[in-house]
Structure 1
Amino acid sequence: MKAVRCEEYGGPDRVVIREDVRAPEVTDGHVLVDVAAAAVNFTDLLFVANEYQVAADLPFTPGSEFAGRVAALGAGVSGLEVGDVVHGSVFNGAMAEQVLAPASSVSRVPEGLSMAEAAAFRVTYLTAYHALVTIADIKPGQWVVVLGAAGGVGSAAVDVAVRLGARVIAAASSSDRLRVCADLGAEAGIDYSTEDLKSRIKEITGAGADLVVDPVGDRWAEPALRAIRWGGTFVTVGYAGGEIPRIPLNLVLLKNVTIRGLELRTWSQRLPEETARARAGLAELVAGGMRPLVSETYPMEEAVTALSRVAGRVPAGKVIIRVGEDVQ
């Protein structure tokens, strides 16, 4: 089968396209999917560079998020049938004509989503929903600050928070990216490349933010934490800014702030009931018109370009690699 392959660690330009990759064999408890579309996430770049917390052994196929049709079911799998339109997540392997995924990581696509939207939806929107609802139990009218708000997880968090009635402050690196967030319903925007993040959050909210969702880390995490109200919540979901921040714990103590980590792969494994509730909640929002922001799509042959665009933090929303024919 054809697949994107990483055969040596490095930048996006190191990946290659191979047409003789062995297709995965169906195993118990797993689902084989004919991939139509795969999303590009920042974690894919970390895996290719061998900079993620868990290494992917060479050679491997990048990609953790996909949509397609069920080709075969392993023993013990229930609730799905061959031909079902599904989306799912894996450790790696999505940027290929076929992917094998644990049945618990695959679900039917909510009605109304295209294949490209479905590939862009699962990881980012589940992450956003867990941060906002499962962890923070966000309420209408509360202030939510989203860092990296025009990126994949960020735009999903803005979208979900607005639809749940929260007052959203989008923080991003340019006025163009903030306009994308405004279109999603963000009430206010902060360009943290030119504005002081802490002072602007306090200026907008008065008492401080109720919740910060942070997929960026780096030098922006601490000022955002300092701008949380007493008893607020900070959810760390990634470090797209490059550096893992070191937070002075006295800030947590003095304000009785809750800091929670959210890594979707292990959450889905350890908290299946919460994940099922999140999927149901998201399906309701999709029925109400919610759609992920897909900004760019590329054929598999242009995977280097797709990865490079995400590495340069150029697109807003999600970048999709087209694998099958029925991608809109």
Structure 2
Amino acid sequence: MKAYQILSFDEPPSLTEVEKPTPGEGEILLEIAACGLNFGDLLMAKGQYQEKPPLPFTLGMEVAGTVVETGANVDDLPPGTRVLVGGGSGLAEFGVFPAAKALPIPDDMPFTDAAAFQVAYGTSHVGLEHRLKLQAGENLLVLGAAGGVGLTAIEIGKLMGATVIACARGKDKLAICESVGADHLIDSESDDIREAVKALGGADAVYDPVGGDQFKAAMRACNPEARLLVVGFASGDIPQIPANHLLVKNLNVMGYYWGGYNVFRPEVIRDSMRRLVGWYEDGKLKPHVSHALPLEQAAEAYELLRSRKSTGKVVVTMT
């Protein structure tokens, strides 16, 4: 079978021929239909991600497909079951995954939606509800708002009753933010983020996958007792936080790595996914996939992420 693999951290990924895997106890074999791409993949390809699999390994954290075979002690996911699952090795025609991490999806949910669903919506939902404890009526500032997690943070923030201030680069990206429910729009290219947020009443909660100067501006626009969630550093700049600013305004800055919950509190992710799939079935969520490319064009798909030419999610399809 074909797989898009990292053979060396000094070389670009390549499409290679590998043996089709066999499921072991507690595992399922999926015929993979689609895989969602994430910024974490770009770091993983360089050996710079929080998790560093042994070489060689297959990229792709976010998978959707059909069960074709099960290992021992797997009784609830018979062959033919359509599922989403995370954990890696998604950019391949087949893959083996722990049955405990797989979640059946509705029959009318396209695989491209399922592959765009788990990381972006899961990250935003657990971040906003479990970590930030967002409350109805609060001002939520979303940085990098036109990206995969940014758009989902807008949608979920609105479902939770917040007033959402979306910050993104350029009119086209801001138009997409508005289309998914953002109440206010800030152009990070031309607007003074601090002054624009303060003019809207300040931020009570900040969702930040960007870092850098945008984090610093957001922190200065916070209301007393605001909470800032550090989701990532898409800017490439990890900000240094002056503790005296936290003291003066009684601010809380929280680190957040969604994938970590798979290790120390997996029930948080399972419960979140069930609620999110329910919201999808009710028509309350609609994944935004700006590009869907075949496996043979995986390199081009990742370049869309790297160059920030995509909005929402980029998905690679296997057929």
TM-score normalized by the length of structure 1: 0.91
Structure 2 contact 143–210 (Cα < 8 Å) conserved? yes
> Is the partner of 1:213 in helix, strand or coil?
strand
Alignment-derived partner of residue 183 in structure 1: 179
Distance 1:73 1:262 in 2: 34
Q: Across the two proteins, how many residue pairs are aligned to each other?
A: 318
2:17 pairs with 1:8: no
Alignment-derived partner of residue 71 in structure 2: 74
Alignment-derived partner of residue 296 in structure 1: 291
2:256 pairs with 1:259: no
Alignment CA distance shift 1:104-1:261 (3 Å)? farther
Alignment-derived partner of residue 31 in structure 1: 28
- RMSD, matched Cα: 1.7
> Of 166, 169, 179, which aligns to 2:162?
166
Structure 1 contact 4–96 (Cα < 8 Å) conserved? yes
Mapping 1:177-216, distance limit 5 Å: 177-204=173-200, 206=201, 208-216=202-210
Structure 1 contact 32–71 (Cα < 8 Å) conserved? yes
Alignment CA distance shift 1:158-1:270 (3 Å)? same
Bigger mean CA deviation after superposition, 173-182 or 43-52? 43-52
Distance 2:106 2:125 in 1: 15
Structure 2 contact 301–314 (Cα < 8 Å) conserved? yes
Superposition deviation, residue 110 in structure 1: 4.2
Structure 1 contact 112–286 (Cα < 8 Å) conserved? no
> Is the partner of 1:49 in helix, strand or coil?
coil
> Of 109, 128, 143, which aligns to 2:139?
143
Distance 1:227 1:77 in 2: 51
Distance 1:236 1:257 in 2: 13
> Is the partner of 1:68 in helix, strand or coil?
strand
Bigger mean CA deviation after superposition, 297-306 or 209-218? 209-218
Q: Which amino acid is 1:224 matched to?
A: A
Q: Which runs of 5+ in 2 are unaligned?
A: none
Superposition deviation, residue 313 in structure 1: 0.6
Structure 2 contact 167–185 (Cα < 8 Å) conserved? yes
Distance 1:106 1:217 in 2: 32
Superposition deviation, residue 112 in structure 1: 3.9
1:10-67, Cα deviation, whole Å (9 max, x unpaired): 58xx22211x212223122332211100011111111112222333333221110010
> Of 41, 57, 61, which aligns to 2:38?
41
Higher-RCO chain (CA-CA 8 Å, sequence separation at least 6)? 1
Alignment-derived partner of residue 50 in structure 2: 53
Structure 1 contact 296–315 (Cα < 8 Å) conserved? yes
2:312 pairs with 1:320: no
Alignment CA distance shift 1:122-1:230 (3 Å)? same
Structure 1 contact 111–287 (Cα < 8 Å) conserved? no
Q: Which runs of 5+ in 1 are unaligned?
A: none
> Of 276, 282, 294, which aligns to 1:282?
276
Superposition deviation, residue 286 in structure 1: 0.9
> Of 263, 268, 273, which aligns to 1:269?
263
2:125 pairs with 1:129: yes
2:12 pairs with 1:17: no
Superposition deviation, residue 200 in structure 1: 1.1
Alignment-derived partner of residue 222 in structure 1: 216
Superposition deviation, residue 250 in structure 1: 2.0
